[in-house]
């Protein structure tokens, strides 16, 4: 029966106007009179137009999609403009243009990504629409659908025009402030405040400029002497680098965890400290420590594509990757849950790395078990900082002791 249905649909779309034209002609021949022939000749232009429309190709239509900006952050409003350019002047009664948006954005639309034009002989037209809130990630816009037909609705045709655009939405990050890190100097084992590169520090030599070096590090006398940019080389310090670890277990506050991680990366890199980022699902990836604006973009790019699909728990991540963590580095772990098994595993590896838990919670009233786990971690020398969903953006301000990050 399916072939019968297909053929009936084909006949209805292709030849119903021919049947009506024949019926009106036969009626005029037998009935005669002005009214009968008026009906026939009135219907004739519609039948001819529908016949010609079948041979009109929509493949030679050019469609362009453009965005107002090159980069967007989570929550931004996205403005999209669609431009349609026809290569011939065949009159179209109407043309419906529909942009095929990624599925993640569909819930935000009320058919405002569709637009109907009445172009006739017009060859170029455009329309724009907005996506109210950008969703973090890499989104592919593939096709634009064009629909047209005759004025009586006897015949319609639809074409998909390939128009590929890739939109990358970065995580939102705050420009936070926090207390200075603590680290271990190379010549001693006691924890003491680190003087960052932008402060007075022990200069051990000079070297050629490399991307990411700050202007304040330039050695002007050596630059003038050698006629090339030279920068100061500082004495190496232990715990200079920071490893940011994002727990990718499913969490209702995962988007905020990504924002916290991005905010920390931005703040630490602003201080001139080397940062490496890794997610718990990226357990096979190596650690790449870097500085400067380019490295920040690499971290934001990784965070833009990160998801919270459970593949490897935070505990199993440390069991596997402990040997790959940087010796004497500071590890900042962004998570929304901890347990005693995880704390015990972190205590065992605390001799080589400095462990710091940043726990983002949805509500300020924590359950008793979580409170006990946090106290257990603190008794064993692991710094825990609790951030709450409604105030984490302000939690790194000076004076809020519960959230000041002191490493």
How would DSSP label each residue in 139-156? EEEEEEEEEEE-TTSS-E
Report the mean per-residue pLDDT for the chain: 77
Examine the domain organization and report whether 137 and 69 are in the same domain: yes
User: Is residue 56 one of the residues assigned to a domain?
Assistant: no
Give the pLDDT confidence of 349-379 residue by residue, as tens digits: 766 667 788 887 776 666 677 788 888 888 8
pLDDT at 65: 93
Give the pLDDT confidence of 73-105 residue by residue, as tens digits: 888 899 999 999 998 888 999 999 999 888 888
User: Is residue 405 one of the residues assigned to a domain?
Assistant: no
CA distance 133 to 130: 9
Examine the domain organization and report whether 201 and 189 are in the same domain: no
- Inter-residue contact 297 to 335 (CB < 8 Å): no
CATH of the domain at 140: 2.60.40.10
**Structurally, how many domains does the chain consist of?**
4
∠ CA 142-144-146, nearest 5°, is 155
Examine the domain organization and report whether 147 and 226 are in the same domain: no
Q: Which domain holds residue 252?
A: 182-194+237-394
User: Is residue 403 one of the residues assigned to a domain?
Assistant: no
User: Is residue 399 one of the residues assigned to a domain?
Assistant: no
- Inter-residue contact 21 to 44 (CB < 8 Å): yes
User: Is residue 365 one of the residues assigned to a domain?
Assistant: yes
- What kind and span of H or E run contains 204? strand 203-208
Examine the domain organization and report whether 70 and 154 are in the same domain: yes
Examine the domain organization and report whether 189 and 205 are in the same domain: no
Examine the domain organization and report whether 190 and 203 are in the same domain: no
- What kind and span of H or E run contains 378? helix 368-379
Examine the domain organization and report whether 304 and 381 are in the same domain: yes
Examine the domain organization and report whether 297 and 338 are in the same domain: yes
- Inter-residue contact 396 to 178 (CB < 8 Å): yes
Range picked from 41-45, 159-163, 353-357 for highest mean pLDDT: 159-163
Examine the domain organization and report whether 71 and 87 are in the same domain: yes
Give the pLDDT confidence of 215-226 residue by residue, as tens digits: 777 888 888 888
Examine the domain organization and report whether 15 and 126 are in the same domain: no
User: Is residue 369 one of the residues assigned to a domain?
Assistant: yes
User: Is residue 54 one of the residues assigned to a domain?
Assistant: no
Which of 271, 295, 293, 291 has its CA nearest to residue 195?
Answer: 271
Identify which has the larger pLDDT, 63 or 215. Answer: 63
User: Is residue 102 one of the residues assigned to a domain?
Assistant: yes
Whole-Å CA distances, 373 to 92, 124, 253, 354, 380? 70, 65, 20, 18, 11
Positive or negative torsion for Cα 19, 25, 30, 33:
positive
Examine the domain organization and report whether 8 and 137 are in the same domain: no
Instruction: Average the pLDDT over each of 165-169, 185-189, 259-263 and give the range with the smallest value.
Output: 185-189
CATH of the domain at 377: 3.40.50.410
Examine the domain organization and report whether 164 and 294 are in the same domain: no
């Amino acid at each position: 029966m399916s072939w019968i249905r297909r053929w009936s649909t084909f006949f209805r779309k292709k030849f119903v106007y021919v049947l009506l034209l024949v019926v009106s002609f036969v009626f005029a021949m037998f009935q005669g009179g002005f009214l009968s022939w008026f009906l026939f000749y009135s219907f004739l232009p519609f039948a001819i137009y529908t016949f010609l429309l079948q041979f009109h190709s929509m493949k030679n239509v050019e469609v362009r999609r453009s965005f107002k900006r090159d980069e967007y952050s989570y929550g931004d409003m996205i403005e999209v403009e669609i431009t349609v350019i026809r290569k011939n002047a065949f009159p179209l009664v109407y043309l419906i243009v529909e942009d095929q948006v990624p599925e993640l954005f569909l819930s935000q639309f009320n058919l405002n990504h569709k637009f109907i034009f009445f172009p006739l002989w017009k060859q170029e037209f455009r329309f724009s629409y907005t996506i109210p809130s950008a969703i973090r990630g890499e989104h592919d816009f593939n096709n634009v659908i064009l629909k047209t037909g005759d004025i009586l609705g006897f015949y319609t045709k639809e074409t998909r025009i390939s128009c590929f655009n890739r939109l990358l939405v970065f995580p939102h990050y705050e420009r936070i402030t926090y207390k200075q890190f603590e680290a271990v100097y190379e010549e001693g084992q006691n924890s003491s405040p680190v003087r960052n590169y932008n402060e007075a520090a022990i200069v051990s030599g000079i070297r050629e400029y490399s991307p990411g070096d700050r202007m304040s590090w330039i050695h002007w006398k050596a630059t003038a002497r050698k006629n090339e940019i030279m920068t100061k080389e500082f004495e190496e310090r232990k715990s200079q680098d920071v490893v940011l670890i994002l727990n990718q277990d499913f969490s209702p506050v995962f988007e905020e965890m990504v924002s916290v991680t991005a905010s920390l990366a931005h703040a630490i890199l602003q201080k001139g400290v080397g940062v490496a980022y890794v997610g718990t699902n990226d357990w096979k990836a190596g650690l790449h420590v870097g500085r400067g604006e380019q490295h920040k973009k690499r971290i934001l790019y990784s965070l833009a594509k990160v998801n919270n699909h459970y593949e490897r728990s935070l505990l199993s991540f440390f069991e596997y990757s402990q040997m790959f963590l940087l010796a004497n580095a500071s590890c900042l772990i962004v998570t929304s849950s901890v347990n005693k098994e995880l704390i015990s595993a972190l205590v065992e590896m605390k001799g080589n790395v400095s462990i710091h838990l940043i726990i983002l919670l949805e509500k300020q009233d924590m359950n008793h078990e979580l409170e006990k786990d946090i106290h257990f971690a603190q008794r064993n020398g692991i710094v825990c900082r609790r951030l709450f969903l409604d105030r984490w953006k302000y939690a790194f301000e000076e004076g809020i002791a519960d959230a000041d990050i002191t490493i």
